[in-house]
Amino acid sequence: MPAFSALWQALDEHYRNTVSIHMRDQFAADPQRFDRMHETLHGLLFDYSKNRVDETALTLLCRLAEAAGLPQQMAAMRCGEKINTSENRAVLHTALRLPENAEAVYVDGENIVPKVHHELKRALAFARSILDGSHTGVSGKRITDFVHIGIGGSDLGPKVCTQALKNYQQQVRVHFVGNSDDAEMTNKLVGLNPETTVFSIASKSFGTPETLLNAQAAREWYRSAGLPEAGIGRHFCAISSNTEAARRFGIEAERVFAMFDWVGGRYSVWSAIGLPVMVALGEAHFRALLQGAHAMDEHFFHTGFRHNIPVLMALLHVWYNNFYQADGHTVVPYSHNLRRFPSWLNQLDMESCGKSRTIDGSEAELKTGGIMFGEEGVNCQHAYFQLLHQGTRLIPCDFIVPMTTPHNIGRQHRFTVANAFAQAEALMKGKTYEEALAELAHLPEAKRLALAPHKVFPGNRPSNSLLIDSLNPFNLGMLLAAYEHRTFAEGVIWGINPFDQWGVEYGKVLAKAIEPELDNGTPEHDSSTNGLITFYRQCQQAV
Ligand code: F6P
């Protein structure tokens, strides 16, 4: 048990005392429940009233966060202490969205704020030169397409932002290639002209084989069009903290944009990794994205836990994960343009909190992490929502819903919003056996009795609603930053390091050994792996 075990026990007791209370009854007994259990920040409304909590649970949970040392960890993060202990790194994605005149933040004795803005301006200037046509391809033609090559954190953040803010798109088309599977690169290059395409190779380490393979394929594609080697510098740029490796790849220093050692990949969209977003949206909108994230940082760092949106999100996640033993957490954006948001969150949360060792290396006693998944609404209502409503598992849900849209096709947006609200209501209220029976009054008695049990919804299934007045850069910045801080806060409560990712290394090492064995040699693995390798060879011989 963690040091704050007394609080943990108090929460456990409170859980057992309240687990059978239905939210329906809580709403009926307290007409002010929504008033007490929602927060607003700029264009965001966070409604957490449809959760299985009362004031006592919230008070205990806030005390838990304090006892876990969250206030101290927040302060340590903010001022650049090396809280990513296993990698001996500071964690300063929040510094990337500080205004230029912000107070100094020191890493190893150096104020990093001027450095952040220097690098931001370099990336913005390059994006601007592509957009205004002053940076042309090797044959003098205007750039029409920008292909961003990267994976994981070097891909998901910029992809989500570019897609989400499609309505702000400028004239250059932006594409993303992440997978090493050759289909993605092949598909993306169809219809592109090497003379008018710029590639960015994004890799913090500049050692990720998927990204380097794709980068080589892109370079081959450029060369095979007969374009001069000297033009590589006009068509390739790199974003990396390993600037030396980027240069060795053949990208000139002027086109290498620095990522900082103290920014984790999955927290990096605010850095030069955001270059494709800058190209897609232009400077003003990218700056608005940063400002939105900064507004959430200010809220996170300066608001008491009881009204702190990311902290409340984290505490509710811990409440269900550790007391209710929830089986997962789903996040549903009711917006087609936000459809990749669940994938971004999936990496953010699961790569951060999927740890079974606490920060000091001992075995974690608490259940850490959570299974995060999601799909755009309303599509998911016609897919996995059945399980949320009537399955035997508890899966809390976050509904993310923009209130307005620029499209205005008929009543489509209103219909979509109504569905989001209805799902949250249905999950909370449920439908009793008596209500189901009453609905079937028109049927013969035997049929009514047979059908009614299938129409019962247990309800009492929790959800948060995160409503934004519109899907604009500022609100998107707030939203992403809220989930970043939620992840950090829950990591602190579980006692783990949410900023390293050693678990992804092992498979990479084994892949290195297996790849040459796919061609020849005697594989010496377990019988299953050997069998898979043999089958691969057979298939290769057959084509
Ligand atoms: O394999 C996981 C990971 O290390 C992520 O943490 C990271 O976002 C991704 O790979 C890409 O790494 P890089 O930016 O160094 O290529």
Query: Among positive and negative, which fits the CA dihedral 246, 252, 253, 257?
Result: negative
What whole-number distance in Å separates Cα of residue 462 and Cα of residue 51? 5
The pLDDT, as a whole number, for residue 252 is 87
What whole-number distance in Å separates Cα of residue 175 and Cα of residue 38? 38
The pLDDT, as a whole number, for residue 409 is 87
- 371-386 confidence digits (pLDDT tens): 999 999 999 999 999 9
The pLDDT, as a whole number, for residue 84 is 97
Q: Say yes or no: CB of residue 491 within 6 Å of ligand 1.
A: no
Q: Is 487 exposed, middle or buried (0-12, 13-18, 19+ CB in 10 A)?
A: buried
Encode 364-402: b = buried (16+ Cβ within 10 Å), e = exposed: beeebbbebbbbbbbebbeebbeebbeeeebbbbbbbbb
In this predicted structure, the answer to whether residue 14 has a pLDDT above a threshold of 70 is yes
The pLDDT, as a whole number, for residue 250 is 86
Encode 303-320: b = buried (16+ Cβ within 10 Å), e = exposed: bebeebbbbbbbbbbbbb
Q: What are phi and psi of 490, to 5 degrees?
A: -70, -35
User: What are the tokens at 455?
Assistant: 């129409």
Q: Say yes or no: CB of residue 322 within 6 Å of ligand 1.
A: no
Number of Cβ within 10 Å of residue 162's Cβ equals 26
Q: What are phi and psi of 149, to 5 degrees?
A: -110, 120
Separation of CA 509 and ligand 1 centre (Å): 14
Question: Which one-letter DSSP state was computed for residue 334?
Answer: S
The pLDDT, as a whole number, for residue 31 is 97
How many residues in the chain? 543
Asked if 508 is an active-site residue, the reply is yes
Cα radius of gyration rounded to whole Å, the chain: 25
Residue range 502-508: average pLDDT? 93
Residue range 247-271: average pLDDT? 94
Separation of CA 238 and ligand 1 centre (Å): 15
SS (H, E, C) 101-130: CCCCCEECCEECHHHHHHHHHHHHHHHHHH
Q: Whose C-alpha lies nearest to ligand 1, atom 13? A: 203
Q: Say yes or no: CB of residue 504 within 6 Å of ligand 1.
A: yes
CA 150 to ligand 1: nearest atom: 16
Average pLDDT over the chain reads: 96
- 326-371 confidence digits (pLDDT tens): 999 999 999 999 999 999 999 999 999 999 999 999 999 999 999 9
**Partners of 465 in the β-ladder:** 47, 399
CA 156 to ligand 1: nearest atom: 8
The pLDDT, as a whole number, for residue 107 is 96
User: What are the tokens at 42?
Assistant: 């700029």
Which residue type sits at 58?
L
Q: Say yes or no: CB of residue 211 within 6 Å of ligand 1.
A: yes
∠ CA 479-485-487, nearest 5°, is: 105
The pLDDT, as a whole number, for residue 487 is 98
The pLDDT, as a whole number, for residue 3 is 60
Residue range 527-535: average pLDDT? 96
Does pTM surpass 0.85?
yes
Asked if 235 is an active-site residue, the reply is no
C-alpha dihedral over 16, 18, 20, 24, to 10 degrees?
Answer: -160
pLDDT band at residue 2 using 50, 70 and 90 as cut-offs: low
pLDDT band at residue 270 using 50, 70 and 90 as cut-offs: very high
Residue range 13-27: average pLDDT? 98
Q: Whose C-alpha lies nearest to ligand 1, atom 9? A: 152
- 99-150 confidence digits (pLDDT tens): 999 999 999 999 999 999 999 999 999 999 999 999 999 999 999 999 999 9
The pLDDT, as a whole number, for residue 410 is 85
User: Is-contact 116 98, C-beta < 8 A?
Assistant: yes
pLDDT band at residue 470 using 50, 70 and 90 as cut-offs: very high
In this predicted structure, the answer to whether residue 1 has a pLDDT above a threshold of 90 is no
| Residue to mutate (ligand 1; options 180, 268, 352, 501; most atoms within 8 A of CB) | 501
Nearest to 479, CA basis, from 297, 263, 307, 352: 297
What whole-number distance in Å separates Cα of residue 31 and Cα of residue 26? 9
Place of tokens 């007409």: 31
Percentage of the chain modeled with pLDDT above 90 = 96
- 393-419 confidence digits (pLDDT tens): 999 999 999 999 988 788 999 999 999
DSSP reduced 3-state for 335: coil
The pLDDT, as a whole number, for residue 297 is 98
Residue range 258-263: average pLDDT? 95
Q: Say yes or no: CB of residue 511 within 6 Å of ligand 1.
A: no
